[in-house]
Amino acid sequence: MEIPLLGRIRKMEPSLATLLLVIVGAVAVVGLVVAMTAPVGVLVGDTQWHYVSAFHGMAATVFLLGATIAVYLAWRLYIGEIRAFRDLKWLAAFSTVMSAATIGFGNWIYIAYRAPGGPRSYFLENLPEVHKIFFEFKEFIALFTLPMFAVSTFILWKYGDSLVKNREARATASVPILLGMFFLLLAYVLGAAITKLRGV
């Protein structure tokens, strides 16, 4: 028996308007926090590395926001019930760009992480397993997000909505997005944990 509410939720799909609203909301929350903790230096920190670190975390968070909606639409594509196909194409492309930006900022902040007296020295001295297992795994698994979202973006844009009719093509376009989200979550959680233990 079909439950009316579940049926309605199942048919609902986010749109670019939803994404825009989410981003405006996120920016508003960030703006509020920044205003409440002004000057910005108190919130972010007062060195160059604090700003690079903040941009790395912010890029990862925006990536996470876009990828979350992309994952939902990818699942809709996988089960063959997608309507907002155009939104999925744009969200996959957006996530690919944000993955590249996050990796770029990650490389930049890695300089501070490795610097003498930086978090790496601290971890190797006090908690070697944090660097040797969690950080090393995080730095590589984060790179896996880029090819996953890039492959899906390529397939979605190259074949367009013609792939909706083909079950294998739907899986090939949507599963890498799900895997990319899995890698993103791993890197995000490990990155946040490492930053909490010892920031730059």
Q: Is 136 one of the binding residues for another protein (CB under 8 A)?
A: yes
Residue 173 in contact with residue 77, Cβ under 8 Å? yes
Residue 94 in contact with residue 24, Cβ under 8 Å? no
Say which residues have a Cβ less than 8 Å from residue 79's Cβ, sequence separation at least 6: none
Q: Using CA atoms, how far apart are residues 167 and 174, in angstroms rounded to an integer? A: 11
Nearest CA among 44, 199, 47, 188 for reference residue 123: 199
42, 143, 192, 193: which one binds another protein (CB under 8 A)? 143
Q: Is 137 one of the binding residues for another protein (CB under 8 A)?
A: yes
Residue whose structure tokens are 């950080």: 135
| Among 13-21, 37-45, 61-69, 142-150, the segment contacting another protein (CB under 8 A) | 142-150
| Among 28-36, 49-57, 74-82, 140-148, the segment contacting another protein (CB under 8 A) | 140-148
16, 97, 175, 197: which one binds another protein (CB under 8 A)? 175
Nearest CA among 199, 192, 193, 163 for reference residue 57: 192
Residue 140 C-beta: closest distance to another protein, Å: 4
Question: 37 or 48: whose CB is closer to another protein?
Answer: 48
158, 160, 192, 193: which one binds another protein (CB under 8 A)? 158
Question: 24 or 193: whose CB is closer to another protein?
Answer: 193
Question: 19 or 109: whose CB is closer to another protein?
Answer: 109
Give the chain's radius of gyration (CA, Å): 19
Size of the site for another protein (CB under 8 A): 29
| Among 9-17, 32-40, 74-82, 106-114, the segment contacting another protein (CB under 8 A) | 106-114
- DSSP class of residue 79 equals T
Residue 135 C-beta: closest distance to another protein, Å: 9
Burial of 121-158, coded b for 16+ CB within 10 Å and e otherwise, reads eebeeeeeebbeebbeebbebbebbbebbbbbbebbee
Q: Name the residues that contact another protein, by CB under 8 A.
A: 107, 110-111, 114, 132-133, 136-137, 139-141, 143-144, 147-148, 150-151, 154-155, 158-159, 168-169, 171-173, 175-176, 179
